[in-house]
A and B are shown apart, each in its own frame.
Chain A
């Protein structure tokens, strides 16, 4: 559906996006992740034709962005970051204006407007000026206007930024609902959101792609360490290290936290081993009291942190 090849963007001497390659299949929900200033918005802006790439190629279906500028914009709906809208227009007027620009037939215009308004839940604000809407409603109006023409591809730049938790859930629900029939690219820096809504995740850092795959895939690929956290009472680090050192599979034991009562240690195990049963048996033999014992799974957050840490 979308093919991005060696996409590069320079702002004067600053390289915002550096030779990015990726493909997006039809019906896929792709999450673009990255820290602030990684080049997410710039990438999306180039995809939507708002910025011209310094070099590289973007193909959407059979169109290329240099030659079929208008055709691409016709099949693409875009919600820019923080949904900039015309403040002194009524929601109804704004949607009608978008419908006019997108050349929707006059007979279909009203039904289509009603349909998108229903989908995005903005029926009750249709006759209010946009300036008076709350952030969440503005975002929904932006989403409605992006979906007005029933575009094949939806590009959403941080669709949930600045919303309260309820609104975030609402917007995600809408995205999930439309994801069934559309190709969606969304950028975010909220990891749980990417995990909850996207089929595939692309992590970019400093303009380069550092990871690409489904959440599961990423977890497997970057699952290099096997960590156990242990919290004990009536124990001191020295004896714990001594007792546990003999168990096979344990590579290293470090003290994470120690107070008068509690001792917390982190155990690094060999990736292929699982010494949990033996550790438990060892603890049973001593006077220690076990408060907490769990395996630390590699979350998307850890992967993200690892990949995008500043050098």
Chain B
């Protein structure tokens, strides 16, 4: 596990030496900023609920765009061969890349801290849900990163990796809004599978072990599948 650090550093730096990081962050801030402030003054409430309620949908397409290059690019260029013949394990590779993506998401969220601070100046802001919201955002980002990493490990084509990752993330986000299509006996399972409700719970400031566990399990499944997908190519 000692090789996680150099891989993390390299991947994290790679985001910022290419224009991807800046484009993705700009799009993210533009979309969240627009949707948040478009209705903010109409609602006339000093809360960030609107911002956090949109986050799962926005993350569903932003995060696969962040993770799509992680493995696909290496497979395409062939540097994957160089990487795997250095003294690293699959676990090092998967964790290093995963942490780089989570780190990037954390950086991407930093500018949005301007929202709670400016809202706090306008009214009485309850910081509990805000803290929970950011914690939830990181957890959700990590879970979607794991899924994105998995889809990136499937193919050497970054666009396909993006589409597969986005499909899975969107399904997880929207599944509990389409429950009326499903038989009643399966309802409780699909409610639990939906990422949105778990995230909304945390962003209300309620830290429930079930929600935390959900995100950890999605991360685990995603990373383990990525691990398997890499091993398959071995």
Chain A positions within 8 Å of B, measured between CB atoms, are: 45, 48-52, 69-70, 73-74, 76, 78, 80, 82, 84-89, 93, 97-98, 100-103, 142, 145
Please give the distance in Å from A170's CB to the nearest CB on chain B: 21
Q: Which residues of A contact B87 (CB under 8 A)?
A: 70, 73-74, 101-103
A307 to chain B, nearest CB (A): 29
CA distance A74 to B87 in the complex (A): 5
Contacts across chains A and B counted by CB atoms under 8 Å = 69
A73 with B82: in contact, given A86-B77, A88-B18, A97-B6 (CB under 8 Å)?
no
Stretch at the interface among B7-15, B118-126, B159-167, B204-212: B7-15
Interface residues on B, range: 20 to 34
Residues of B46-86 whose CB lies within 8 A of A: 77-82, 84-86
A88 to B17, CA, bound (A): 7
B131 proximal to A (CB < 8 A): no
Bound: A50/B83 CA distance, A: 9
Instruction: List 12 contacting pairs A-B, 8 Å CB cutoff, sorted by A.
Output: A69-B89, A70-B87, A73-B86, A78-B82, A82-B78, A84-B82, A85-B77, A89-B14, A97-B10, A100-B9, A101-B6, A142-B82
User: A73 to B92, alpha carbons, bound, how many Å?
Assistant: 14
Q: Is the interface of B mostly helix, strand, loop or mixed?
A: helix
> How far apart are the CA atoms of A102 and B78 in the complex, in Å?
20
Contact B89 A70 (CB under 8 A): yes
Q: Which of A52, A82, A100 has the most CB of B within 10 A?
A: A100
Chain B contacts with A in 171-219, Cβ cutoff 8 A: none
> Whole-angstrom distance from the CB of A158 to the nearest CB of chain B?
13
Kindly provide the distance from the CB of A40 to the nearest chain B CB, expressed in whole angstroms: 15
Alpha-carbon separation in the docked complex, A86 to B86 (Å): 14
Contact of A50 among B6, B17, B81 (CB under 8 A): B81
A76-B85, A78-B85, A101-B88 known; A87 vs B77 contact (CB < 8 Å): yes
Query: Known contacts A50-B234, A101-B3, A101-B6: does B81 contact A80 (CB below 8 Å)?
Result: yes
Q: Please determine whether B84 and A50 come into contact, CB atoms closer than 8 angstroms.
A: yes
A102 with B14: CB separation less than 8 A:
no
Give bound CA distance, A145 to B85, whole Å.
12
The answer on a CB contact under 8 Å between A84 and B10 is no
Q: Are A80 and B82 in contact (CB under 8 A)?
A: yes
A76–B84 Cα distance when bound, in Å, is 12
* B82 adjacent to A145 (CB under 8 Å): yes
CA distance A84 to B234 in the complex (A): 17
Question: B88 contacts which chain A residues (CB < 8 A)?
Answer: 73, 101
Ranked 10 nearest A-B pairs via Cβ: A84-B78, A100-B6, A73-B87, A78-B85, A48-B85, A84-B79, A80-B81, A74-B87, A101-B6, A97-B10
* Bound-complex Cα distance A33 to B234 (A): 24
Which residue of B is nearest A72, CB measured?
B87
Inter-chain CA distance A91–B80, complex, in Å, is 17
Smallest CB-CB separation from A157: which chain B residue? B81
CB nearest neighbor in A for B89: A70
> A146 → chain B, closest Cβ, in Å?
9
**Which residues on B sit within 8 Å (CB–CB) of A76?**
85
Interface contact B14-A88, CB-CB below 8 Å: yes
Query: Which chain A residue lies CB-closest to B84?
Result: A50
B81 to chain A, nearest CB (A): 5
User: Are B3 and A49 within 8 A (Cβ)?
Assistant: no
Extra A-B contacts (16), CB below 8 Å, given A80-B78, A98-B86: A49-B84, A51-B234, A69-B89, A73-B85, A73-B87, A80-B85, A84-B82, A87-B77, A88-B17, A89-B10, A89-B17, A93-B13, A97-B9, A100-B5, A101-B7, A142-B82
Query: Chain B: which residue is nearest A99 at the CB level?
Result: B6
In the complex, chain B residues whose CB is within 8 Å of the CB of A98: 86
